[in-house]
Amino acid sequence: MDIEPLADACGGLAWISGELFEVEGRLAAGSSDGELLDARLRALLARSSRRHGQHAQWWRAALPDSPALAGFDRVRPPTDAWVRLLDHIVESAPAGAVAALFEVALPQLIFVLEHLSYELSPVSDGNAIRIVAMVTTDLTEEESEAKQVWPMPKIPSSADLEALLIAFSDDYREKRWPPLLPHPRRTG
């Protein structure tokens, strides 16, 4: 992958991870509106929040340090779909926020990382490959644990979540974010 699209990918992933760190941390700490989440779910959110904080640091460290590439200026929302999703999570009651996290954010982030991994070259992108592998392992574990503590529907649990998923589909179809470039499927 060329350095500028890779920098945009790292910046976007740093932004997403930082936002997830904050919202999951708030949800784990409890709610001021009276709705309290299950203790097992709060423990999962606390652990996931810490991991997202670490991921954000890894992605920021992977940004180019050349002034010409303005690496830290690339830490920004990668698409409007991610902004809408994080806004929805922040504005929702705790149960709705958790549904959006587990039904939309987590699967979409895993999808982006899988897609990004196809674009990375072992010759020039070794650091990014390691970060993708570590983050994917953490997210896959989170997804598995989430299924144990949160009832995961096979379809979105609300029309709002379905609309958010459709926004991501539009992003992928129009290839709005550098990791979403078309790629040949690996075999073997």
* CATH number, domain with residue 65: 1.20.1260
Q: What's the confidence (pLDDT) of residue 86?
A: 97
Residue 187 lies in a domain: no
Which domain, by its residues, includes 128? Answer: 3-180
Q: What's the confidence (pLDDT) of residue 183?
A: 44
pTM: 0.88
Cα–chain center distance at 123: 26
Residue 113 lies in a domain: yes
Residue 186 lies in a domain: no
CA angle 41, 110, 22 (to 5 degrees): 50
Residue 94 lies in a domain: yes
Per-residue pLDDT reduced to its tens digit, 111-131 = 999 989 988 988 889 999 999
Q: What's the confidence (pLDDT) of residue 186?
A: 46
Residue 188 lies in a domain: no
What is the residue-wise DSSP string for the chain?
--HHHHHHHHHHHHHHHHHHHHHHHHHHH--TTS----HHHHHHHHHHHHHHHHHHHHHHHTS---TTTTGGGG-S-S-HHHHHHHHHHHHS-HHHHHHHIIIIIHHHHHHHHHHHHHH--TTT-HHHHHHHHHHHHHHHHHHHHHHHHS---SS-SSHHHHHHHHHHHHHHHHT-SGGGS--PPP--
Q: What's the confidence (pLDDT) of residue 180?
A: 62
Q: What's the confidence (pLDDT) of residue 145?
A: 94
Domains held by the chain: number: 1
Extract the residue ranges of the chain whose pLDDT is less than 70: 31-34, 152-157, 174, 176-188
